[in-house]
Amino acid sequence: MAMILLTNDDGYDALGFQTLYRVLKKNFDIFAVAPRTQQSGASHSLTLRRPIRVEKFKEQFYTIDGTPTDCVLLAYHDLIKTPIDIVVAGINHGPNMGSDVFYSGTVAAALQGSSLGVKSMAVSLVGTEYTDFTRAAMYARSLITQVIASDQERLVLNVNIPERHIRGEKVTKLGQRIYKDKVIRNNEQKDVMYSVIDGTLSHTVAADTDFKALDEHCVSITPLILDLTDYKGMQELHQYLALTATSR
């Protein structure tokens, strides 16, 4: 039976995580390691220079006072004694599309799994209510089965599932998220202030993007890589440096 490391960033008691845990346990060997508290927006942060509290919740189920990245590292290097077939993060309460992937603890957990050489998947539900994750969990179980059977190595997928009717699935690229951030300052006294980062989100809908797929009520499946190198930029930089060198 395949071994799945299951984690998330909404906390171990989140409905999406608990639903996916129950659905996957019917077919797989599940080892759950999840944050004790909400870690949305934690990105790829990890805990250094302080002990992390690791508590056994039940057999093969641990909670920690750390980040999703901590969960994967602790599970891989200490808690799980057998090979992991896939790291699954989710189901996240809300989308992780476009540049959301740079902030998401859910996606970070999947990327951490990939960096350790394990196939990985981040799963998110896109909707408004977030009261029923069963359909999304059933879809995720089917996709996980296919990914485990795949011979692709270091595969990491960012999966966004529509909350209601699923009309199909599409392999997509990351779309463009538009952030309109603002800072709200209040309770300012002398040299101390409290500020809240807020704002609105929007996006552009372009062909082959995750946003377009969800607008069409399809599951978006985006393959990700860890290499952030701008290879075109490398060529342009080489050319620029060569030109500037000749002008010296």
Would residue 91 count as lying in a domain?
Answer: yes
Mean pLDDT over 58-63 rounds to: 98
In a domain, 194, yes or no: no
Question: Is 198 a domain residue?
Answer: no
| Eight-class DSSP state of 44 | T
| Single pTM value for the model | 0.90
Average pLDDT value for the chain: 92
pLDDT category at 69 given cuts 50, 70, 90 is very high
Q: Please indicate, yes or no, if residue 60 is contained in any of the structural domains.
A: yes
The answer, yes or no, to whether residue 202 has pLDDT greater than 60, is: no
pLDDT in tens, 16-47: 999 999 999 999 999 999 999 999 888 999 99
Q: Assign 201 a pLDDT band (cuts: 50, 70, 90).
A: low
Query: What is the domain range of residue 43?
Result: 3-175+204-246
Q: Does 187 fall in a domain? A: no
CA 78 to chain centre: 22
Give tens-digit pLDDT for 76-120.
999 999 999 999 999 999 999 999 999 999 999 999 999 999 999
Residue 122 lies in a domain: yes
Tally of structural domains, the chain: 1
User: Considering only CA atoms, which of 93, 83, 80 is closest in space to residue 8?
Assistant: 93
Instruction: Provide the CATH number for the domain around residue 153.
Output: 3.40.1210.10
What per-residue confidence (pLDDT) applies to 185? 74
- Sheet containing 61-64: give its strands across: 54-58, 61-64, 29-35, 3-7, 86-93, 120-126, 156-162, 218-223, 168-171
Asked if the structure places residue 98 within a domain, the reply is yes
Q: So what's the pLDDT on residue 199?
A: 56
User: Is residue 221 in a domain?
Assistant: yes
Q: What is the pLDDT of residues 126-163, one digit of tens each?
A: 999 999 999 999 999 999 999 999 988 889 999 999 99
